[in-house]
């Protein structure tokens, strides 16, 4: 039986490692926020730390039974992190993917703390964890990959990008698989201006930024390979232990069918 664990919000200072969440059946709180876990039957072989979209909830992530079953059945724990409330009383959340300071939570640090805490709590290898996210969560996934690339073994953003102005460089090479719909009108491949005038970055410019950090010798990826609804392309001659792959599909702003096995097959085939 797959277990669903729904923690409650906690906004207080201190060390995440010092907070005792009790047994796997207890709700969990850590300094700065909370996360929700969905576990396989046996000890997890690793974990997918998943970041919800703008206004989303960690509980909504684990309520996606198709996604949870697909990941748990392959032996992975799913650690669904909750973004900070957008306004007082908000049950949804958003991410500090623009890396703003001030009163905003440092989500690069917080996501890393959640992964450390969950690995100790559930007994999976912290070095066998993937950071993934959808939409706003995909943007935060890109931010962690660019700013703190050693935080996770691999990255799998969906329908997200970095914000303009793009950083001049990303910190180091990573293993990253980006998925995006060519009909996405919420986060188009070319980006768009939203809200108070902030602008999403062009996905291909963001990929090129990471290509440079990965040390890939060619500016263009290999010819696309058709796999179900996806056109998959990877860059060649990149730094050792790095990978940069993009899968485009004809759909819109959604986690496409077939994403989970595609990502896990890619990840498990890495050297």
pLDDT digits (tens, 9 = 90+) for 17-53: 334 565 544 558 899 999 999 999 999 999 999 999 9
- For residue 91, give the CATH number of its domain: 3.40.50.1820
Q: Residue 175: helix, strand or coil by DSSP?
A: strand
CB within 8 Å of 168: residues ≥ 6 apart: none
pLDDT, one tens digit per residue, over 220-248 is: 999 999 999 999 999 999 999 999 999 99
Q: Write out the residue range of the structural domain in which residue 155 sits.
A: 3-269
Total number of domains constituting the chain = 1
Task: Report, as an integer, the average pLDDT of 176-194.
Answer: 98
Q: Which is nearest to 199 in space by CA: 168, 164, 167?
A: 164
Contact assessment for residue 161 and residue 155, using Cβ atoms and an 8 Å cutoff: no
What pLDDT, on the 0 to 100 scale, is given for residue 55?
97
Q: Is the pLDDT of residue 100 over 50?
A: yes
Q: How far apart are CA 80 and CA 261, in angstroms?
A: 19
Q: Determine the 3-state secondary structure of 44 from DSSP.
A: coil
- The number of CA neighbours under 13 Å toward the Cβ of 242 is 21
pLDDT for position 11: 32
CB-CB contact of 46 with 128 (8 Å): yes
> What is the model's pLDDT at position 71?
98
Band the pLDDT of 6: cuts 50, 70, 90. very low
Tally of residues, the chain: 271
What value does the mean pLDDT take over residues 158-175?
Answer: 97
CA dist., res. 263 & res. 66, Å (int) = 15
80-92 average pLDDT score: 94
Give the pLDDT score at 18: 34
Average pLDDT over every residue of 55-78 = 96
State pTM to two decimals.
Answer: 0.91
């Amino acid at each position: 039986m797959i277990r669903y664990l729904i923690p409650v919000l906690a906004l207080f200072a201190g060390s995440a490692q010092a907070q005792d969440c009790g047994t796997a059946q207890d709700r969990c709180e850590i300094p700065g926020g909370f996360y929700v876990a969905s576990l396989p039957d046996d000890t997890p072989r690793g974990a997918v730390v998943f970041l919800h979209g703008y206004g989303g909830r960690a509980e909504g992530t684990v309520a996606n039974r198709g996604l949870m079953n697909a990941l748990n059945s392959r032996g992975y724990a799913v650690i669904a992190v909750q973004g900070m409330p957008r306004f007082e009383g908000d049950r949804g959340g958003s991410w500090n993917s623009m890396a703003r300071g001030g009163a905003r939570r440092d989500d690069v640090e917080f996501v890393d703390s959640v992964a450390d805490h969950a690995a100790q709590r559930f007994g999976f290898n912290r070095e066998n964890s993937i950071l993934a996210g959808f939409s706003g969560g995909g943007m935060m996934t890109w931010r962690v990959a660019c700013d703190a690339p050693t935080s996770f073994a691999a990255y799998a953003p969906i329908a997200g990008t970095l914000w303009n102005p793009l950083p001049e460089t990303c910190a180091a090479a990573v293993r990253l698989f980006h998925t995006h719909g060519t009909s996405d009108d919420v986060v188009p491949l070319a980006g768009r201006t939203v809200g108070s005038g902030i602008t999403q970055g062009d996905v291909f410019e963001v990929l090129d930024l990471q290509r440079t950090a990965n040390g890939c010798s060619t500016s263009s990826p290999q010819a696309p390979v058709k796999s179900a609804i996806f056109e998959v392309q990877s860059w060649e001659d990149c730094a050792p232990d790095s990978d940069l792959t993009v899968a485009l599909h004809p759909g819109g702003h959604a986690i496409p069918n077939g994403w989970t096995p595609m990502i896990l097959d890619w990840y498990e085939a890495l050297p």
